[in-house]
Amino acid sequence: MKKKIIAVLTALGCMLAMLPAAVLAEDSLPGDCNQDGTLMLADAALMQQYLTGQAEFTEAQFYAADFNHDGTADIFDLARIKYALTAVPYDPDAYVPREWAMIEAVPEFSQHPDYPTGCESAALYILLHSYGINITMERIVSMLPKGPAPYEGADGNLWGANPEKQFVGDPTSSSAFGVFNAPIAQTAGFIKPNPICRTGATMDDVLRLIDRDIPVEAWFIIDPDLTFIYRRQWYDYQTGELIRWPGREHAIVVCGYDAEHVIYRDSNTGGTRTVSKSIFAARFADLGGRIVYYDEPVR
């Protein structure tokens, strides 16, 4: 009888070993890249090593690293891991927004037709004009760090700029891509000193700034009814890092809110839009909670 039990257990162990690692890891902690059962700074460090080609993941590690469950482990998952490590647990009593807030000094502006992919620069234009700075889009775009749009290299791979460092392509081209918050903050600093660039911000962080009459450039989505798509990817032409572009990425300027909505200036429509707080919080977090602002109220 004892031999039969051992045989059954052995067979069961073999069956489990044959299951895909991702299936066995389904109950693992999101972001637990080193599979030690906890989410620590070591996981973020290991993820960074993976993204720079200094470490490899098993299937189980890859499953845990894919924090947003889009089938990849990339910089957006790293941003979510870092946010999870630093975020204070949500306390509904910690911050109570007003019933309504609006910064009327934030102007409306359209990026079209001259800058079809220049939403990030257009949002910076709106932000700067909120402070009475009379600057043109042409001037902003001329100072923006720019790198090549994806091109096919001699090895057959696509190579292009990294949106963390440069605008990918040219904002005057409809076939260009975009840029994230650090290069926009760098450009903003050339025009009005001391912009603040943050990643990992929450919706409440944004609303607190609105309460202080501080408009916020935020990375969002062009159509709140849709989700991001990751169909385009290429390698950083300077470092070799794999870049996966979040299709439908958009930059806006948050200027108000009410009990149920976030209100923002949208350069794509040239007007003002509202979106439910739940959708704003989700899409805003999907891009890592990226914002640029000045720590002073508009007057």
Instruction: Examine the fold and report which residue of 86, 110, 127 is the final residue of a domain before the chain moves on.
Output: 86
Residue 202: give its domain's CATH number. Answer: 3.90.70.10
Task: Tell me what pLDDT residue 12 has.
Answer: 43
Q: What is the pLDDT of residue 28?
A: 62
CA 223-170-222 angle, 5° bins: 5
**Locus of tokens 């704003």:** 280
Looking at the fold, whether 154 and 6 belong to one and the same domain comes out as: no
Domain boundary pick from 86, 111, 132: 86
Q: What pLDDT, on a 0 to 100 scale, did the predictor assign at position 77? A: 82
* Total number of domains constituting the chain: 2
- Structural domain including 32 reads 2-86
Residues 45 and 143 in one domain: no
Q: Which residues pair with 242 in a beta bridge?
A: 235
Q: What is the pLDDT of residue 82?
A: 76
Domain identity same for 124 and 61:
no
Contact 117, 174 (CB under 8 A): yes
Please choose, from the candidates 189, 227, 216, the residue with its C-alpha nearest in 3D space to the C-alpha of residue 76. Answer: 227
CA separation, residue 266 to residues 96, 127, 207, 269 (Å) = 26, 12, 17, 6
* pLDDT recorded at residue 27: 54
Q: Are residues 151 and 71 in the same domain?
A: no
Cα-flanking dihedrals φ and ψ of residue 105, to 5°? -70, -10
pLDDT at residue number 44: 86
What CATH number corresponds to the domain at position 33?
Answer: 1.10.1330.10
pTM exceeds 0.85:
no
C-alpha angle 280-283-289 in degrees, rounded to nearest 5: 90
Terminal C-alpha separation, the chain: 85
**Quick one: tokens of 82?**
């870092």
What confidence score (pLDDT) does residue 176 get? 98
The answer on 109 and 80 residing in a single domain is: no
- φ/ψ of 58, rounded to 5, equals -75, 170
Instruction: Indicate whether 272 and 249 sit together in one domain.
Output: yes
User: Average pLDDT by consecutive 10-residue portion of the chain (299 residues)?
Assistant: 46 42 53 84 88 88 82 82 62 70 97 98 98 98 98 97 98 98 98 97 95 97 96 97 97 96 98 97 96 95
Residue with tokens 């390698």: 235
